[in-house]
Amino acid sequence: MQIKEAEKNKLFAGITGEDLKRLLSCSKSQYRSYRQGTIIYRQDEQPRKLFVMLKGRAAVIKILLSGKKNILYEVREDSVFGENSFFRQEERNWCGVEAVTDVEVLEIPWEFFYCFCDEGCKLHRRLIQNMLEILSQKEWQATKKLSIVSSTSLKTRLSRWLLMEADAGGRVTLTMNREELADFLGVARPSLSRTLAQLQQEGMIELGKKEIRIKSREKIEDFYE
- Please write the tens of the pLDDT for every residue from 115-150: 765 555 678 888 888 888 888 777 777 777 777 777
From 140, 136, 196, 134, select the one nearest 164 (Cα to Cα).
Answer: 140
* DSSP reduced 3-state for 45: coil
pLDDT at residue 65 greater than cutoff 60: yes
Topology given in CATH for the domain delimited by 2-141: Jelly Rolls (2.60.120)
Mean pLDDT, range 61-68, rounded to an integer: 81
Which residues, listed in sequence order, are joined to residue 101 by a DSSP beta bridge? Answer: none
Mean pLDDT is lowest, of 28-42, 75-89, 116-130, for 116-130
Cα distance between residue 50 and residue 22, in whole Å: 18
Q: Are 71 and 161 in contact (CB under 8 A)?
A: no
What pLDDT is attached to residue 143? 76
Instruction: Compute, in degrees rounded to 10, the torsion defined by CA atoms 95, 100, 103, 106.
Output: -20
Please state the domain extents for the chain. Answer: 2-141, 151-222
From 155, 162, 166, select the one nearest 202 (Cα to Cα).
Answer: 155
What pLDDT is attached to residue 97? 93
Cα distance between residue 11 and residue 7, in whole Å: 8
CATH number of 151-222: 1.10.10.10
Which residues does 132 contact at the CB level (< 8 Å), separation at least 6?
Answer: none
What pLDDT is attached to residue 57? 93
Please give the share of the chain, as a percent, with pLDDT higher than 90. 21
The verdict on pTM exceeding 0.85 is no
